Amino acid sequence: MRSSGSRGTRGFSSVVGAIFMVLIMWVLASSYFVYTLLQNTTYNSAVGQMNQLDVDRLSESANVLSTTYSVNANGNVAVAAQIQNTGPSSIQFMTVWIKVSNSTPWTNYNFSNLTNANVQGGAIFPLNVSLSVSGVLVNSSASYTFASWLITTRGNIVALQQKTITSIISVSQTTQGIGALMMDFPNFTYYNVTGSNPYFLNLTAGASGYYVQGAATPKGQVAFRVILTNLDQNQRNITLTDGSVLFFIFPSATGAFQGVAWYVVNVNEQTGAISNTYTSVTLVYNVATSVYFASGQRGTFTLQGVPSPFIPSIAPVNLALVGTIGNSPFGQNIPFVSIEIVS
């Protein structure tokens, strides 16, 4: 007969084995439970990030103020545009695409990655890029249709204005006849000056420069924006110095002519702030550039308006531009618009 001690040992071993089995099951169950919790947390975090991305993407809003296309060489297309961020959050533009087509039918594309293209809410982003698009000919009489898009880092698409150019050569011939600089006539703009040292332009509240209101001194202080494109045939940069000026001419009761002048200034296109001193503005070949005229004094900013005896009135406006082209002296006068000034 087996002793009672042997039976006790076997019973104790069975209990120990059962305890170890329970511990193993508990460890496995706990590990699975913790793993499930971690996976659920990761999933909820991913869903939250996706929902926030959708909210951020839907909050983006942009308005294209102007778009200009030009061909500066065979197979080379320049795109210049002004895009305003009309939403509350910043927008970062990542890529610009351009499409060119004609009635042959023929279509070609290209794109370029953008850097330093983060635009705060309410600010204006000046786009200036030059892309290679094989098949575009500068001396062709063909009609080209240009379209382009900006892609944001959040995946939104901002379509720029589409344009058709019927004869590329006619643009360069006209520019050669009047000078190296071409003005964007439809986007001639004026602003009211606000603030006090520093002074500001509300770049989102500009109005047509052809009809100016509230410009009478001493309280009315205004500024003007002209968009210029350098189309020098030798593709040299043009630098505008502080003598560049926009001026009105008014006839007086005595038959003499009197004028009011606004000298060129520097404006921060993110904040609208006017600089107290002037740093020369460089116009890169075939890049549309905003140039601001706001000062009553050359080189240093002072407020300027229109003397009240000349309001209401209609006046011719001249743009006298001086500086350098390449390494040579430069000067061009553009007799470009007549405007109506009212109180």
Query: Is residue 23 in a domain?
Result: no
> Is 107 a member of any domain?
yes
* Per-residue pLDDT tens digits for 195-240: 888 899 998 888 999 999 878 777 788 999 999 988 887 778 999 9
The two beta strands, 328-342 and 211-213, are parallel
Same domain, 310 and 223: yes
Helices (H), the chain: 4-59, 168-178
- From 5-9, 40-44, 120-124, 284-288, the region with the lowest mean pLDDT: 5-9
Is residue 247 situated within a structural domain? Answer: yes
Q: Which residue has the tokens 């743009």?
A: 319
Domain-located, residue 193: yes
Neighbouring CB atoms inside 10 A of 257's CB total 9
Do 105 and 244 sit in the same domain of this protein? no
Helix (H) / strand (E) containing 251: strand 245-251
| In a shared domain, residues 267 and 217 | yes
Report, in this order, helix, strand and coil percent for the chain, each rounded to 5.
20, 45, 30
200 and 88 in a common domain: no
Measured at the alpha carbon of residue 249, what is the angle toward residues 243 and 255, in degrees to the nearest 5? 135
Q: Are 212 and 341 in contact (CB under 8 A)?
A: yes
Q: Are residues 68 and 190 in the same domain?
A: no
Q: Are residues 113 and 255 in the same domain?
A: no
Could you tell me if 174 and 244 lie in one domain? no
Q: Which domain holds residue 239?
A: 181-342
Do 117 and 160 fall within a single domain? yes
Count of domains observed in the chain? 2
Q: What is the CATH number of the domain that holds 88?
A: 2.60.40.10
- The answer to the question of residue 217 being in a domain is yes
Neighbours of 153 (CB within 10 A): 15
What DSSP letter does each residue of 114-141 carry, written as one string? Answer: -SS-EE-TT-EEEEEEEEE-TT--TT--
| pLDDT bracket for residue 80 (50, 70, 90) | confident
Share of the chain above pLDDT 70, in %: 83
Please report whether residue 155 resides in a domain: yes
Query: Is 50 part of any domain?
Result: no
Instruction: Look up residue 321 and give its amino acid.
Output: L
Q: 166: buried, middle or exposed (CB in 10 Å: 19+, 13-18, 0-12)? A: exposed
